[in-house]
Amino acid sequence: MEQTISLHQRIREFECRIRRWKQVRFVPLTRHIFASRRSSSVGPQATQVSRPFPNPNCSFPPQTSPLPRRNMADGAPRRNLPELPTTISQSSHLTKRLAEIKRLSGRITIMNTVYETTKESLKRIGELGSGTCGVVYKARFEQTGTIMAVKQMVVTSVAEENKRVLMDLEVVLRSHDCPHIVRCYGCFITDFEVLICMELMATCLDKLSKRVQGGFPEDILGKMAVSIIKALDYLKVTQNIIHRDVKPSNILLDLNGTVKLCDFGIAGRLVDSMARTRTAGCSAYMSPERLEAQEEYDVRADVWSIGISLVELAKGEYPYHGCNSEFEVLSRIVSDPPPVLQPEEGFSPMFCDFLRLCLTKDYHFRPKYKEVLQHDWVIHYETAKVDVAGWYQSIIQS
């Protein structure tokens, strides 16, 4: 019964976020926006746009009436979440962080050489992908010819989106000495957009898994797991943060077989080793305690995400497959026994035991990073000679 209530609570919170989004979307505001989407090599022209309501030229109301509020099926009343600030100017903390980062704008560091430059030095080659916060495109840095991935994110009037942009940028800039986190060459920041210049990786594990028949070999997963766990431990030790969105699409691979972690937009600060905010990640890889809206959680939530990702990559399919809705996925994660691998399926007993520990449902008994790094399976693959680059080449050539 408690599990059902917690799932209803999560749905109610989702509805509250939708209502807040509508408030942000439809309230009157005046701000600069881009007149059109342009290449980063061309300076955007700002256009002053005003949206005062009501519009006398409109023959219809600008905003529909709210739906009547009703209780959920379990009888629990709906509840509103506290309103969040909606603009950067309303958040002095965000403004201060942005000002600190802006001092680094226009500096590109390649091979220990710093270049003072402008975004016009980036020549766009083609788009690599897009997401909720912006697009990623391939570009050439003209002064050295370096090919890089540029993440282009628009500064909006929504504080939560801007916080994601700043968090992503802060983490990669501070992680320059970690070989397991995607390298940042520098950034360009204006009042309208943020450009993060990163090393170009070959692919992510989500895309790669679609080309692999029957799942990744265990030794390949072993080397990948070592890199990801070390990246997460580095973030905890050096920056006191938790990633909160570990999944195959956020794990990158280059042509040399190097595995790196990326996308830190929803990373959270730890207070006394605990996270106290409920910023969403991808619910399919989220731990039971986060889905059950625990007041506090810690790095063991990311250990669960590692386990789910490894099971998916090992078997070639998401462990909670066959669900018809996100609600069904959430329900199975909370209610079903955790997924497991068996030696009879061709996996080593050490690997099966490692996943059993990572996917312990009660997080109080789930290991943290330091314990995970001491597991026999991880220790073995930390020193084992595995040709990840050769395996990747065989996949893309097949």
> So which residues are the catalytic ones?
245
Amino acid at site 313 = L
Please state, as a whole number, how many other Cβ atoms lie within 10 Å of the Cβ of residue 224.
23
In DSSP notation, 245-298 reads --SGGGEEE-TT--EEE---TT-EE-BTTBB-------GGG--HHHHTT-S-B-
How many Cα atoms within 13 Å fall on the side-chain side of residue 121? 19
> Which residue has 């030696």 as its token pair?
343
**CA-based torsion, 89, 91, 94, 99: positive or negative:** positive
Closest CA to 16 of 267, 264, 293, 282: 293
Q: Would you state the structure tokens that stand for residue 100, as one six-digit string? A: 């600190």
Cis peptide before 54 (omega within 30 of 0): yes
Q: What's the CA gap between 83 and 79, in Å, rounded?
A: 12
Q: In the 8-state DSSP scheme, what is residue 149? A: E
Maximum Cα interatomic distance, the chain, rounded to a whole number of Å = 71
